[in-house]
Amino acid sequence: MALIEVVDVAKSFPSRHGTIAIMDDISFEVADNDFLAIVGPSGCGKSTLLRLLQGLDHPSAGEIRFRGKRVTEVSHQMAMVFQNFALYPWLSVNENVAFGLTSRGWSKEKIDAQVERYVSVTGLVGFEEAYPRELSGGMRQRVGLARALAVEPAVLLMDEPFSALDPLTAESLREEVLQLWRDPGLPPEAVVLVTHNIEEALLMADRVIVMSRRPGRVLAGVIVNLPRPRDRKSAAFYQLTDYVYSLITEGSTGSHSATLKESKPSAAVSGGTPLASSAASAAGAESKPLR
């Protein structure tokens, strides 16, 4: 059974001009050990979709299941990392990381040990007593990551986690997140990364869900079979980036499904479920499990 099932989900919000459809007909699955990225233009509903996955908001139609059970309330099996870090400015690094643990009824010793572990794995040793305002963006995002990992979630949800960082910091943090992900001794079991950055999605994920402009629909599921560490200068990487880019731009014309099926027959698109990537296999990439 898939860890998460998204089945025919639609979401709309009321507005002054009537109801606005944000996304429609969204279906995909997240399996154990999946590193899934969701890409699409700004405003296509990616962040909203993450909120729906965690149960912070509810679909207008369709349903989301976690381990076979419909998500009807906030899931504590999932933790979110935010673009703007969302730290509590009045709390120290240690206190921010401990925040999600305080409601668990754990002893102080157990919380302290957990905080120490995740402060350490995210490279924050020496900064335990610092406040967010004293930290660089990269360090703040480490705190966001430590706080999310400390609850040992089954699914880590990441909402544009590198977008607010300078390019070099973003690059090194991406690599560190992948290293943490590769460590079988650490949570989570799956990652869902939302990004508008196609390169970032293809550098990090095993599968990429490509969404259209609003109302967001699944244009394709792309399996990224490129070997790791991924070389963004390789022909195969370039080809795949170009392919995803063209999916989004073609999709925005409103003729995506016909175009897709005609022009990329082996990039299988079936009911929104990711199947295969023609571009990766055409480029001679091999399948390589991440963990």
Site residues, ligand ADP (CB under 6 A):
13, 22, 40, 42-48
Residues 6+ apart with CB under 8 A from 11: 21, 22, 23, 45, 48, 49, 52, 57, 59, 60
Q: Which is nearer to ligand ADP, 40 or 272 (CB)?
A: 40
Shortest distance, CB of residue 218 to ligand ADP, whole angstroms? 13
> Is it true that the peptide bond before 188 is cis, omega within 30 degrees of 0?
yes
> One-letter amino acid identity for 155?
V
Secondary structure class of 145 (helix, strand, coil): helix
> Residue 231 gets which letter from DSSP?
-
Q: What angle do CA 231, 155, 80 make, to 5 degrees?
A: 90
Minimal distance, residue 40 CB to ligand ADP, in Å:
6
| Residue 56: Cβ within 10 Å count | 16
- Residue 222's beta-bridge partner residues? 208
* Rounded CA separation 20/38 (Å): 21
Q: How far is the CB of 51 from ligand ADP (least distance, A)?
A: 8
Cα gap 125→121, rounded to integer Å: 9
Distance from C-alpha of 53 to C-alpha of 57, rounded to nearest angstrom: 8
Question: Residue for token digits 């992900």?
Answer: 181
Q: Specify the residue, 124 or 220, whose C-beta has the smaller distance to ligand ADP.
A: 220
Max intra-chain CA distance, the chain:
60
Cβ pair 147, 97 in contact under 8 A: yes
H-type helices in 29-166, by residue range?
46-54, 93-98, 108-121, 137-150
Between 52 and 145, whose beta carbon lies closer to ligand ADP?
52
Q: Do 28 and 6 touch, CB atoms closer than 8 A?
A: yes
Closer Cβ to ligand ADP, 193 or 268, answer by number: 193
Give the shortest CB-215-to-ligand ADP separation in angstroms.
9
